[in-house]
Amino acid sequence: MLPREHRITRSADFRATMRRGARAGTPALMAAVRVTEQQAPTHSSQPTVSWRCGLIVSKAVGNSVVRHRTQRRLRHIIAELLNHPDSLTHSLTANQCAEVVIRAHPEITGLSHSELTEQLDSALRRAFSRTSSGSDSGVRQNTRSKVRRDP
């Protein structure tokens, strides 16, 4: 289980990260990353964190046993990747927090631990690189033009 301070729990935070975050995907999952500014903690006991994570594992992945197993596997790998000393979050400044949302696809159930780690690491690296390189901090521009149809 991820520590409470590292979990995204509010639906508004999930929505904002999925809509405005930089995304990168693999056949088994999709990662969305949004870098936000943190306010100073109001209480000294409230720590500042460099990352928060949320998981989306829908019924398309499998029954409840498969979904919960998938969530446990993802939580373990995420904690391992983001807490590592040379992780992607260590490049953030002290007042920044990376909000990460992982959406699992049905193909995730057939992956071994090493394959899942490799795909998750790849997606996170590409998503993080898109947040720092873009001028809009990872915001995708709508390139579709509206087609006007005459009645």
pLDDT greater at residue 108 or residue 147:
108
Domain 4-38+48-133 of CATH type 3.30.9.10: no
What is the per-residue pLDDT for 139?
41
Task: Spell out the domain ranges in the chain.
Answer: 4-38+48-133
Reduced 3-state DSSP string for the chain = CCCHHHECCCHHHHHHHHHHCEEEECCCEEEEEEEEECCCCCCCCCCCCCEEEEEECCCCCCCHHHHHHHHHHHHHHHHHHHCCCCCHHHHCCCCEEEEEEEEECHHHHHCCHHHHHHHHHHHHHHHHHHHHHCCCCCCCCCCCCCCCCCC
Q: What is the pTM of this model?
A: 0.78
Query: Tell me, what's the pLDDT at 145?
Result: 46
